[in-house]
């Protein structure tokens, strides 16, 4: 797939739609989890979503601490390699904490399953998952997200933190690349 200019990308979810959905998710999370959360942001793809989500959580009265982990299952292409590697670990101790694990897309489910298992093994009290997007068509592992922004079909999307070959993360909307 060629690199496209941002104007050639088909908008799937606009900036406004995303903003509205993030506010709704924050309200749901806040009413389910009124205590103090440790938001674990899975880099790199979810940093834009997480930045909006933690501010939405503050607006609805939930204060969250934040930490980051870098997990990788993709190379530079569009297919997952199937193996998840932890390339940058958390700083915080998760023992006894209520965790909200935030990632961009639930596709095969391997990344979330690996992250969830790792946090529980380290003694987290609870781990809820919050995904900007759910792509259920390619699921390989039995896992469902607790909170989902939008469900999508079997298509490759970019923008709002998501990349293709390290590009497009800064697009304010989520879209699909034109076919080759």
Residues that bind ligand IMP (CB under 6 A): 45, 73-74, 80, 103-111, 135, 156-158, 162
| Shortest Cβ 95–ligand IMP spacing (Å) | 25
Question: What is the sign of the dihedral through the CA atoms of 112, 37, 104 and 170?
Answer: negative
Determine the interface stretch with Mg ion among 19-27, 41-49, 61-69, 162-170 (rule: CB under 5 A): 41-49
Q: Counting contacts by CB under 5 A, is residue 109 touching Mg ion? A: no
- C-alpha closest to that of 98 among 137, 55, 129, 57: 129
Say which entry of ligand IMP, Mg ion, none residue 47 contacts (CB below 5 to 8 A, set by partner kind).
none
> Closest separation between CB of residue 27 and Mg ion, Å?
25
Quick one: 62 exposed, middle or buried, by C-beta within 10 A (0-12, 13-18, 19+)?
Answer: buried
Q: Which of 45, 149, 161, 175 binds Mg ion (CB under 5 A)?
A: 45
Q: Is 23 exposed, middle or buried (0-12, 13-18, 19+ CB in 10 A)?
A: middle
């Amino acid at each position: 797939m060629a690199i496209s200019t941002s104007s050639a990308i088909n908008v799937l979810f606009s900036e406004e739609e995303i903003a509205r959905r993030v506010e709704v998710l924050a309200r749901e999370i806040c009413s389910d989890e009124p205590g103090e959360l440790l938001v674990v942001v899975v880099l790199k793809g979810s940093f834009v979503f997480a930045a909006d989500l933690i501010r939405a959580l503050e607006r609805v009265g939930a204060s969250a601490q934040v930490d980051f982990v870098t997990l990788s299952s993709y190379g530079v292409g569009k297919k997952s390699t199937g193996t998840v590697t932890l390339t940058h670990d958390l700083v915080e101790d998760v023992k006894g904490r209520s965790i909200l694990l935030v990632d961009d897309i639930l596709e095969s489910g391997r990344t979330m399953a690996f992250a969830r298992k790792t946090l529980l093994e380290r003694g987290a009290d609870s781990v809820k998952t919050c995904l900007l997007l759910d792509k259920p068509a390619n699921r390989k592992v039995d896992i469902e997200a607790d909170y989902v922004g939008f469900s999508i079909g079997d298509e490759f999307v970019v923008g709002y933190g998501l990349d293709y070959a390290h590009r497009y993360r800064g697009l304010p909307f989520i879209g699909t690349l034109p076919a080759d």
